[in-house]
């Protein structure tokens, strides 16, 4: 790429035209940041691009352009100046925007987080936290948006106080619920399998399964990337499962 400052402006204008052709509102207004969120809802799921979606190809270039659009929207409405380092090998990712009050933000990194973490790292909430008047979330099938998200959308005002701490609390609470549900389900499965070798082992009550399902449901509601989190939790359980299998198959623990 050439000069990063020129590249980010050109990329922002190009992605704005492309978004408008796909019936997203992309006019560099604060309210248009909702359409960036809608774009990610439509074309990504659980931290990855949807197959055959608009992020399925040229992901790096499109994230850079979307980051440029978000940054330009903020700059045109609040002021500020792009800060670039053309010598940085990761310059496209580390490009920053310095606002008039001295705040430094990294819009490209923010859209990368939006892809990975989902709505808890929302773009409209990001703009609202910086002082933009993004307004309430529009209806999913309004005339200016064209396409609706595959998930239900609820109109809500996003306040700066909620954006960072609220979403962080949701992620922590969701992770705890997923961990507790996994531990409970693992215990049920372990005792069931162990009872095949040792008839003295008492099975846990069946209603524990209902509790585990409730914990999974709560965790999934609080964290949109719950599939990824759940996979990592169960991956951590693998060594314990291997230990348990050898423990109960040992002659001293087997049924005689």
Q: Transcribe 162-185 into DSSP letters.
A: HHHHHHHHHHHHHHHHHHHHHHHH
Q: Which of 61, 52, 51 minimizes the C-alpha distance to 18?
A: 61
Ranges of each domain in the chain = 4-156, 167-253
pLDDT at 146 over 50: no
Give the pLDDT score at 78: 94
The residue that leads in pLDDT, 29 or 170, is 29
Rounded to an integer, the average pLDDT of 34-55 is 90
Q: What gap in Å lies between CA 107 and CA 96, rounded to an integer?
A: 7
pTM value is: 0.56
Q: What gap in Å lies between CA 107 and CA 33, rounded to an integer?
A: 12
Give the pLDDT score at 83: 94
Give the pLDDT score at 155: 27
pLDDT at 18 over 70: yes
Q: What gap in Å lies between CA 10 and CA 15, rounded to an integer?
A: 9
pLDDT at 247 over 60: no
Q: What gap in Å lies between CA 28 and CA 30, rounded to an integer?
A: 7
Q: What gap in Å lies between CA 190 and CA 247, rounded to an integer?
A: 11
Pairing of strands 81-83, 96-98: antiparallel
Q: Which of 79, 55, 47, 82 minimizes the C-alpha distance to 68?
A: 82
Q: What is the pLDDT of residues 167-220, one digit of tens each?
A: 455 567 777 888 888 888 877 777 777 666 666 767 667 777 788 788 777 777
Report yes or no: 36 and 70 within 8 Å, Cβ to Cβ.
Answer: yes
Q: What is the pLDDT of residues 63-104, one digit of tens each?
A: 999 999 999 999 999 999 999 988 888 888 899 999 999 999
Q: Which of 109, 12, 9, 113 minimizes the C-alpha distance to 65?
A: 12
Give the pLDDT score at 1: 46
pLDDT at 251 over 60: no
Give the pLDDT score at 209: 77
Half-sphere exposure of 230 (CA within 13 A, CB side): 22
SS3 for 96? strand
Q: Where are the alpha helices (DSSP H) in 160-250?
A: 160-194, 207-222, 226-249
Q: What is the pLDDT of residues 103-121, one digit of tens each?
A: 999 999 999 999 999 989 9
Rounded to an integer, the average pLDDT of 47-60 is 89
Rounded to an integer, the average pLDDT of 243-255 is 53
Radius of gyration of the chain (CA): 24
Q: Which of 125, 159, 99 minimizes the C-alpha distance to 36?
A: 125
Report yes or no: 181 and 212 within 8 Å, Cβ to Cβ.
Answer: yes
pLDDT at 142 over 80: no
């Amino acid at each position: 790429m050439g000069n990063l400052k020129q590249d980010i402006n050109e990329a922002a204008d190009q992605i704005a035209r492309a978004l408008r052709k796909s019936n997203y509102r992309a006019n560099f207004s604060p309210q248009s940041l909702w359409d960036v969120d809608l774009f990610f809802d439509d074309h990504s799921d659980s931290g990855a691009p949807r197959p055959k979606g608009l992020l399925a190809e040229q992901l790096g270039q499109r994230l850079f352009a979307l980051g440029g659009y978000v940054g330009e929207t903020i700059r045109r409405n609040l002021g500020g100046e792009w800060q670039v380092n053309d010598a940085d090998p990761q310059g496209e990712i580390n490009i920053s925007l310095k606002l008039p009050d001295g705040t430094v933000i990294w819009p490209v990194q923010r859209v990368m987080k939006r892809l990975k973490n989902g709505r808890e790292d929302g773009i409209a909430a990001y703009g609202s936290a910086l002082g933009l008047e993004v307004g309430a979330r529009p209806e999913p099938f309004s005339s200016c948006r064209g396409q609706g998200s595959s998930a239900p959308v609820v109109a809500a005002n996003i306040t700066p106080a909620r954006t960072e701490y609220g979403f962080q609390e949701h992620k922590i609470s969701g992770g705890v619920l997923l961990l507790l549900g996994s531990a409970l389900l693992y215990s049920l499965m372990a005792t069931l399998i162990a009872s095949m070798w040792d008839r003295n082992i008492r099975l846990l009550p069946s209603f524990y399964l209902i509790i585990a399902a409730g914990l999974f449901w709560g965790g999934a509601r609080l964290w949109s990337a719950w599939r990824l989190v759940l996979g990592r939790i169960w991956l951590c359980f693998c060594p314990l499962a291997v230990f348990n299998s050898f423990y109960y198959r040992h002659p001293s623990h087997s049924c005689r």
